[in-house]
Chains A and B, each alone.
Chain A
Amino acid sequence: MDYVVRFVAGGLIVSAFAILGDVLRPKSFAGLFAAAPSIALATLTMATYKEGSAYVSIEGRSMILGAIALSLYCVVVCQLLMRFRFSAVTATGSSLVLWLVMALGFKQILIG
């Protein structure tokens, strides 16, 4: 049941931010909403009730590293699209591994 609530809450919040991104112009501004805290809002709200604030704080600390990895991932994707003319599917899909490596690497180095 917990996962069903997560699924619906996450889906709704992500969709809301996606619609904002669809209608806002210029496109570079709309891109800000592709990195909105949509999944975090759904997950951390539930975690606050279920696990408590200390647990949420620990997730927040790790999320900083995930967000830095996301920002670098987007820079790489932008370069693959502009300089190497990759398609969006190829650029965003192939770079997901890079996000994972960076996020786990930062965590290992800075948190342990």
Chain B
Amino acid sequence: MIVHAKFSALGESRWYEYLVRFVLGGLTTVVAGVVADLYGPQMGGLFLAFPAIFYASATLIEKHERQRKKERGVAGQRRGTDAAALDASGAALGGIGLAAFALAVWLLAPEYGLASLVIGSIAWILVSVTGWRLHQEIRHSR
């Protein structure tokens, strides 16, 4: 399956949906900071992987898919749920990549400081994409 960009998808989102994600992202970042300030970095670190963003994106994906089907005069409940499930399967693999990011930060931050975040980001994308490719190949070989 070829990865590509579909820029017309940006038109499906309303302005307030972007605002909701901005506010949700900002609030989650503040909450992670408050938890770290109150209970220390061990507890705060957990909340850096809090699934608030996934919650918003899966809900929006389901809604957009349902709307698209409705415009074509087809009941889209099932397709909407399937689209959200596909997003969840990708996010599960992305979560493993996120663990690779965190591992890089844990091991490299004391020596490399900010550069460990760059290395961690590279680790995240490499592990996530490799996991996704492997998952696709296993699915298609069945």
| A→B interface (CB under 8 Å) | 2-3, 6-15, 17-19, 21-48, 51, 53-75, 77-78, 81-82, 85-89, 91-93, 96, 99, 103-104, 107, 111
Q: Looking at chain A's contact residues, is the secondary structure mostly helix, strand, loop, or mixed?
A: helix
**Contacting residues, chain B, for A85 (C-beta < 8 A):** 78, 81
**Contacting residues, chain B, for A57 (C-beta < 8 A):** 105-107, 109-110
B81 is contacted by which of A21, A35, A55, A81 (Cβ under 8 Å)?
A81
Check B46–A11 contact: CB distance below 8 A: no
Which chain A residue shows the least CB distance to B103?
A64
Check A103–B46 contact: CB distance below 8 A: yes
| B→A interface (CB under 8 Å) | 1, 3-7, 9-10, 12-13, 18, 21-30, 32-34, 36, 40-51, 53-59, 61-63, 78, 80-99, 101-107, 109-111, 113-114, 116-117, 120-121, 124, 128-129, 132, 135-136
Which chain B residue shows the least CB distance to A78?
B88
Known: A10-B27, A57-B110, A62-B44. 19 other contacts (CB 8 A): A12-B25, A14-B29, A22-B13, A24-B6, A26-B3, A28-B87, A39-B53, A41-B117, A43-B32, A45-B114, A58-B42, A59-B41, A60-B45, A64-B99, A64-B102, A65-B46, A85-B81, A86-B81, A88-B84
Check A96–B55 contact: CB distance below 8 A: yes
**Contacting residues, chain B, for A40 (C-beta < 8 A):** 48-49, 98, 101-102, 105, 117
Q: Complex: how many Å from CA A41 to CA B124?
A: 12
Nearest-Cβ distance from residue A38 to partner chain B, whole angstroms = 6
Q: Looking at chain B's contact residues, is the secondary structure mostly helix, strand, loop, or mixed?
A: helix
Q: How many A-B residue pairs have CB under 8 A?
A: 337
Check B51–A92 contact: CB distance below 8 A: yes
Supposing A14-B24, A30-B90 touch, asked if A68 and B3 sit within 8 A by C-beta, the answer is no
Check B29–A43 contact: CB distance below 8 A: yes
A-B contact pairs, 6 of them (CB 8 A): A12-B25, A29-B90, A31-B93, A38-B53, A44-B105, A57-B109
